[in-house]
Amino acid sequence: MVKVQKLQLVLLLCLLSLNTVVNAVEKIEIQGLFSNKAVIMIDGKMHILAVGQTSPEGVKVVSATSRGAVLEIDGQQQQYNLGNAGTVSTSYTKKKTHRETIYKKSNGMYMTDGSINGRPAHFLVDTGASAIAMNTEQAEKLGIPYERIGRTANISTASEFKQGYSVQLKTVTVGDITEKNVEALIIEGGHPGPILLGMSFLSRLDINHRGTAMTLLQK
């Protein structure tokens, strides 16, 4: 009998765990704000919550006045303000997690395709490079006006110092991961060979290695 009860308890805990995943919040609408209370529509269900209360979906009211409220969702707090009189509708959509897995080539390098400012680019993943780096010919093919928008810089390569430019790329994309305003170095001459996907992009991500696979996870 005791073993049966323990098994039932384990099954119950498993079901509760599954329910936690199923009840992940997708959309929130603030429909009314009052002193110490908020009227919230969560995935189509209305709740009236006082400060300190948490909905069944896991949305907590941290503070609320007639002018605004702070909600805590997935451990993150966000301020909602009343812009004008009447009902306020403010939407919240849970941020999706983007990841990209890159496999090591036969030469031991991690190579991947992506884009820079919307144009196709081929990258060598290089955690030893401080920034995305490319030569002037590659920059011209990508339509980057480095001489006009860049700042001149002396750039240290593996063997020497080179003249170059520091620029801000509007977007850099690898798979489903896109980062904006990413620093890049444009180096005069033929160095580097492939475009280096350096730490100005990679430092914004979580990087995991397993065997011959490198997984990039957008924070």
pLDDT in tens, 27-82: 778 878 777 888 888 888 888 888 888 888 888 888 888 777 888 887 788 877 65
Q: What is the pLDDT of residue 114?
A: 96
Peptide bond into 192 cis (omega under 30): yes
Both tokens of 60, joined, read 């907590």
Greater model confidence, 198 or 163: 198
Average pLDDT over residues 96-100: 85
Q: Of 2.120.10.30, 2.60.40.720, 1.10.3720.10, 2.40.70.10, which CATH number belongs to 99-218? A: 2.40.70.10
Residue 23 has pLDDT above 50, yes or no: no
For 26-93, which CATH class? mainly beta
Q: Is the CA virtual torsion 13, 77, 30, 24 positive or negative?
A: negative
Element (H, E) at 123: strand 119-125
Q: Which residue has the higher pLDDT, 93 or 115?
A: 115
Pair of tokens at residue 98:
């983007």
Name the residue among 104, 91, 115 with its Cα closest to residue 180: 115
Assign 90 a pLDDT band (cuts: 50, 70, 90): low
Checking if the pLDDT of 16 tops 70, the result is no
Give the per-residue pLDDT at 77.
Answer: 83
Give the pLDDT score at 113.
Answer: 96
What is the CB neighbour count within 10 angstroms for residue 57? 16
Residues 135-164, mean pLDDT to the nearest whole number: 87
- pLDDT tens sequence across 170-203: 999 999 999 999 999 999 887 788 999 999 999 9
pLDDT score for 93? 60
In the chain, CATH 2.30.30 covers: 26-93
User: How confident is residue 95, by pLDDT bands cut at 50, 70 and 90?
Assistant: low
Tell whether the model's pLDDT for residue 22 goes beyond 60: no
Sign of torsion over alpha carbons 148, 117, 93, 97: negative
Higher pLDDT, 96 or 192: 192
Q: Which of 12-21, 34-43, 139-148 has the lowest mean pLDDT?
A: 12-21
Predicted confidence at residue 127, as pLDDT, reads 93
What is the tens place of the pLDDT at every residue in 123-138? Answer: 999 999 999 999 999 9
The answer to whether residue 166 scores a pLDDT higher than 60 is: yes
* CATH 2.40.70.10 in the chain, residue ranges: 99-218
